[in-house]
């Protein structure tokens, strides 16, 4: 399946046209639509679409309900990115990442490369999971134990991310880095490459910048992303 096909869902025609131009220049094959209902229809018709970039503030079907409807409409393992001029107060179920408007193409491309959805990439190049570690674990234990091990690791990561959020609000940099360090070690053990890499960044940078809350949201979304990938295997 071609992974460079992207669906852009945006009810503002000018913004949709601009995104079409920018993404086409980066090598993507762009399909645009102006509503959530049209997005579901497009996904249903074209299973070659591997990535969706959708505005959150639209009339009609939008947000987590739109994400759920699109995932139900296709057998493809979609990556769905939300975008809005205002950061959401809570994490967004069903989405893989959130981007602030005006859209930073550098940020967008870093996310698509990290998920293997850049032009010419294949699903196996997603860099979510170290296949060597996964295969060794699968060979060493029953399937039920393998599933339980990964479930524990991901649940533990979510618990620690929430502890990092608390530490961030309390300006407790030591606790923030300590939790990130623990996530890094645990995820590295099970080959959760993306999560270990993100945890390493949080451990190194600590509490810095105004975007930490949003970055933690994206950290949680990365856990969901790997969980969905693993659930398709179990």
* 146-200 residue pLDDT tens: 999 999 999 999 999 999 999 999 999 999 999 999 999 889 888 898 898 889 8
pLDDT 10s digits, 14-45: 889 889 888 988 889 999 999 999 999 999 99
**CATH number, residue 44:** 3.40.50.2300
Cα–Cα distances (Å) from 77 to 27, 33, 71, 102, 229, in that order, read 21, 20, 8, 27, 8
Last residue of a domain, one of 92, 122, 152: 122
Together in a domain, 72 and 95: yes
Together in a domain, 89 and 11: yes
Domain that holds residue 136: 131-231
Together in a domain, 161 and 109: no
Identify which of 223, 101, 66 has the alpha carbon closest to the alpha carbon of residue 157.
223
pTM: 0.56
pLDDT of the residue at 178 = 93
Number of domains in the chain: 2
* pLDDT(70) > 60: yes
Together in a domain, 112 and 135: no
């Amino acid at each position: 399946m071609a992974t460079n096909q992207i669906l852009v869902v945006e009810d503002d025609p000018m913004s949709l046209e601009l995104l079409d131009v920018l993404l086409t220049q980066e090598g993507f094959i762009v399909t645009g639509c102006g509503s959530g209902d049209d997005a579901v229809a497009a996904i249903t018709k074209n299973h070659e679409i591997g990535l969706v970039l959708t505005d959150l503030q639209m009339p009609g079907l939008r947000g987590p309900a739109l994400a759920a409807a699109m995932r139900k409409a296709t057998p493809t393992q979609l990556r769905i990115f939300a975008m809005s001029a205002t950061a959401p107060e809570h994490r967004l179920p069903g989405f893989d990442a959130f981007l602030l408007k005006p859209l930073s193409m550098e940020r967008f491309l870093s996310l698509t490369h990290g998920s293997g959805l850049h032009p010419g990439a294949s699903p196996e190049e997603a860099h979510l999971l170290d296949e060597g570690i996964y295969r060794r674990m699968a060979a060493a234990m029953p399937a039920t134990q393998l599933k339980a091990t990964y479930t524990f690791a991901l649940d533990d990561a979510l618990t620690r991310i929430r502890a990092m959020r608390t530490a961030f609000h309390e300006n407790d940099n030591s606790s923030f880095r300590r939790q990130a360090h623990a996530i890094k070690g645990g995820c590295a053990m099970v080959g959760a490459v993306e999560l270990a890499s993100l945890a390493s960044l949080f451990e190194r940078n600590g509490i810095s910048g105004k975007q930490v809350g949003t970055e933690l949201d994206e950290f949680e979304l990365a856990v969901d992303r790997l969980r969905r990938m693993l659930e398709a295997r179990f």
